[in-house]
Copies of this chain bind each other. A is one copy, B any other.
Amino acid sequence: MSSRKPSEPPPPVSAPSLTGPVEDYLKAIYELERRHGAAATSEVAGALDVAPASVTGMIRRLAGQGYLTHVPYRGVQLTDAGRRAALRTIRRHRILESYLTRVLGFPWDSVHAEAERLEHAASDDLIERMAAALGNPTSDPHGAPIPTAEGTVDQRAYRRLADLAVGERATMVQVSDKNPQLLRYLAEIALQPGAEVTLLARAPFDGLLTLRVGETEPVVGSTLAEQVLVEDAPTVPLAPTHRKSRSGSR
């Protein structure tokens, strides 16, 4: 299908569809860049489960195609084109995750892997139809913001559950979609986006936290508490929330 005769070299600029691996690189670099300013070769390698040398090679190609700039030994940064491509893939991924959970009933811990494959195969048309069927959601089942088709994202930074003060109450907003075990456990203790959570106590050692989530009082470890992001609970407890619809539904 996508066979190009070798007579025509790399399509000059009008390369609308990237390969799966390229989309994965751009996505990973985007996320790393957001965290610590720039993405190191080994970080990308770690994120994609690939040898560092492979990353160097791919980076050279992507730099040549104008998706990023690379200062040898110094790391990599996306260009506008690169960022746009990354956000497009992230949008696809998150809309797919939303659709799979909300329409097709997938458990929230298994959609990441599925979306990871589909995001490279789905057409824009399909993605937008899914988004429309969902009422154009602004966040995915794990609370991650969905970039718009125009490439803008909600960039708010949230506090970690681990950083709450004892006695403080907050609303769970987000957690990484990458760890199925963690997600299954969170579902078990009902700690999902939109849930109210109060930090009841902090054990003196090992960072164990006692929470209150609904009726239960689960005890969780620090790795979990560092992964879960929260925002201040609405000051007026049960008043109509004028927050953007955080999809706590299901």
Contacts and interface: CB of A to CB of B under 8 A. Distances in A.
Contacts of A129: 104-106
A106 B106 CA distance: 23
28 contacts: A1-B24, A1-B49, A1-B116, A3-B49, A3-B50, A100-B126, A104-B126, A104-B129, A104-B130, A104-B133, A105-B129, A106-B125, A106-B126, A106-B129, A110-B125, A113-B123, A114-B122, A114-B123, A114-B125, A114-B126, A117-B121, A117-B122, A117-B123, A118-B118, A118-B121, A118-B122, A120-B121, A121-B121
A16 to B, nearest CB: 14
A181 B19 CA distance: 28
Interface residues on A, range: 20 to 34
A136 to B, nearest CB: 15
Contacts of A105: 129
Interface of A: 1, 3, 24, 49-50, 100, 104-106, 110, 113-114, 116-118, 120-123, 125-126, 129-130, 133
Given A3-B49, A100-B126, 9 more contacts: A105-B129, A106-B125, A106-B126, A113-B123, A117-B122, A117-B123, A118-B118, A118-B122, A121-B121
